[in-house]
Structure 1
Amino acid sequence: MMIENQIPAFVEEVASTGCDIVAVLGGFLFGDADLSTEDYELVEPQILAICAKYGRRDHLTKEISHYLVSIGRYYPKEADADGTFGSSKCPGGKLEGLNDKGTWIAMMPGLKRTGPTKL
């Protein structure tokens, strides 16, 4: 299980693979979806090894997100006027607001809505 003082090393190791790890809406994304298929196939074993090394980290989601923001790794850098955000894989996602636990929820286009998507 990851401990809080391991967050900087974890982030550095993930970023060193070429993945653009960023804070997003109170959580974080590895950024591996932005890699080409060929690059992803090369990086995947490295990411899996990093995840195995540090172990479970879901209890540190907020702390990892805060650390990423503190070092300038967050998305979107600027909010769109209409509250939308996007990426190469899910353009036009719509921010819906905070849930009862203080976590941002979002709705991605093209997905059947069965409830909010926690990011």
Structure 2
Amino acid sequence: MKTMKEKDIPALVQAVVDIGCDIHAIGRWGYVFGDGDLTPAQQRAIAPQLRWIAETYGERDHLMDEIIAYLGRSDAMSRLSRRQVSTDGGGRIRLVSKT
């Protein structure tokens, strides 16, 4: 599998946003992309696009810290809906606010 390069982070984020998904850092723990607001039919419709993103950008676990930092920058956030997410004590992700 292809390995993503740090220079590709902005394009990855934009590709996720362009298909209608949100992408969010969760503190320093990680990041998530997708949208819990999508219906099952909408989720099925974007599945091929998410696979394309995974295939195009490749393995990115080694860039976790860099992706989280990029998502925290104001220029990246200006393109994204401003949601804050948090984890509860059990590691589940929950929406804190949406502005």
Give the TM-score range, shorter chain.
0.7 to 0.9
**Partners of 1:23 and 1:69 within 8 A in 2:** yes
* Match among 74, 80, 92 for residue 108 of structure 1: 92
Kindly report which structure 2 residues correspond to 1:6-85, keeping only aligned pairs within 5 A, or say none. 6-26=8-28, 27-70=30-73, 71-72=76-77, 75-76=83-84, 85=86
**Partners of 1:19 and 1:31 within 8 A in 2:** yes
| TM-score normalised by the chain length of structure 2 | 0.74
SS at match of 1:107: coil
Displacement after TM superposition at 1:13 (Å): 0.4
Give the residue type in structure 1 aligned to 2:51. L
Q: In proportion to residue count, which structure has more helix?
A: 2
RMSD over aligned CA atoms reads 2.2
| TM-score normalised by the chain length of structure 1 | 0.62
Q: Which 5+ residue runs of structure 1 have no aligned equivalent?
A: 78-84, 87-92, 95-105, 110-119
Q: Which 5+ residue runs of structure 2 have no aligned equivalent?
A: 94-99
Give the residue type in structure 1 aligned to 2:91. M
Displacement after TM superposition at 1:25 (Å): 2.0
- Size of the aligned set, in residue pairs, is 85
CA distance in 1, matches of 2:4, 2:63: 8
CA distance in 2, matches of 1:22, 1:38: 23
% identical aligned pairs: 36
Displacement after TM superposition at 1:36 (Å): 1.4
Displacement after TM superposition at 1:75 (Å): 4.9
Bigger Rg, which one: 1
Which structure has more relative contact order (CA 8 Å, sep 6+)? It is 2
